[in-house]
Structure 1
Amino acid sequence: MRSRNISNLIEHYLKKIMADDDQIEIRRSSIAHLFNVVPSQINYVIRTRFTIPNGYLVESKRGGGGYIRIEHVKLLDNLGILDLLTQVIGTHLSEKKGVSIVHTLVRHDILSHKEANIVIASISKRTLCIGNTALENEIRARILISILNHLRYES
């Protein structure tokens, strides 16, 4: 339980220092020292909370002068991000990941809350209750990719 709470604190801290800038560079060891955790805990937070579906690009450079750069991206300013989202979705998408992507689209003012609710309803387990999880995940991926492609050409 402590791990989850510390992960939330680290995420909150990183987002707080990103509040003024769309990009930050951090040293994993410095953040780990600040929170008194092992550096792999920082990797975990970045790998799970700062993802493309959540609207972030992460770049890291290893070595003595290494850093981790986290960039908050504006999705429609960079159509390549929509391509990356499409790649992340792939051929199968869980409901949880789908909802995360939809929330990212709302945060970037690409979808309204009302539109997001419609999309979430269309990709929910309740709607796609086929009884075959793999098929449901495939249909969910197709729906969301279709929506992303539509947004690409409408914006």
Structure 2
Amino acid sequence: MRNISDIIEQYLKHILHESPEGAIEIQRSELAEKFQCVPSQINYVIGTRFTLEKGYLVESKRGGGGYIRLQKIELPSLGTLQIHILQSIGSHIDQTSAEGLIYQLKEGKHISHKEAGVLSAAVSRDVLAIKLPLRDEIRAKLLKAMLISLLSK
């Protein structure tokens, strides 16, 4: 059974996908009421599952007329995707940013779920058991090489 965070995430992704503008504005309290949870649960879902690394732009205004605006950021076309990857990764990348990029590529259907799993496993800090900053440099080189190879199909 899915937990409430998964349900809220799927609901937000669904209404975002259905939005002709590619963006939605929601009220935290209304969403919390709809899912019968506390507003901090909404904050948690948005803060962890709708990040810039995962391809979302979040704008929040608190207060009486406050809202949360979510917008999906689309990746460039495949022709410019490799350049985007090289610029995004740079000479080093931490695990959270790497996982966010992999997630974004999976969500954009540039890589499969299985490929995303392999990439995540390969760049994990458990596998790259090396001290920083060398670990982030090796992760960047590995991730670039694997993604360029996968996206050159």
TM-score, structure 2 as length reference: 0.66
CA 1:114/1:49 → structure 2, altered by over 3 Å: closer, same or farther? closer
Residue 93 of structure 1 is matched in structure 2 by 94
Q: Output the CA distance in 2 between the equivalents of 1:16 and 1:90.
A: 35
CA 1:92/1:15 → structure 2, altered by over 3 Å: closer, same or farther? same
Shift of 1:123: 2.8
> In structure 1, what residue type is equivalent to 2:134?
L
Unaligned runs of 5+ in 1: 151-155
Unaligned runs of 5+ in 2: 149-153
Instruction: Quote the sequence identity (%).
Output: 46
Q: Output the CA distance in 1 between the equivalents of 2:91 and 2:56.
A: 18
Range that drifts further, 38-47 or 109-118: 109-118
Residue 104 of structure 1 is matched in structure 2 by 104
Alpha-carbon RMSD? 3.7
Secondary structure at the aligned position of 1:53 is classed as coil
Aligned partner (choices 1, 5, 12) of residue 7 of structure 1: 5
Range that drifts further, 115-124 or 100-109: 115-124
CA 1:120/1:40 → structure 2, altered by over 3 Å: closer, same or farther? closer
Summarize the alignment of residues 1-155 of structure 1 with structure 2, pairs less than 5 Å apart: 5-21=3-19, 22-76=22-76, 86=88, 92-94=93-95, 97-110=97-110, 120=120, 123-125=123-125, 128-130=128-130, 132=131, 135-141=134-140, 144=143
Secondary structure at the aligned position of 1:46 is classed as helix
Q: In the TM superposition, what whole-angstrom CA distance separates every residue of 1:121-149 from its partner, at most 9, and x where no partner exists?
A: 7634576344x3653234324655x67xx
Secondary structure at the aligned position of 2:17 is classed as coil
CA 1:129/1:11 → structure 2, altered by over 3 Å: closer, same or farther? same
Residue 153 of structure 1 is matched in structure 2 by none
Q: In the TM superposition, what whole-angstrom CA distance separates every residue of 1:41-98 from its partner, at most 9, and x where no partner exists?
A: 1111000000111111101112222110000111227x9xx69x949x995512x652
CA contact (8 A) 1:92 1:140 kept: yes
The structure whose residues are more often helix, as a share, is 1
TM-score, structure 1 as length reference: 0.66
Q: Output the CA distance in 2 between the equivalents of 1:10 and 1:42.
A: 8
> In structure 2, what residue type is equivalent to 1:93?
D
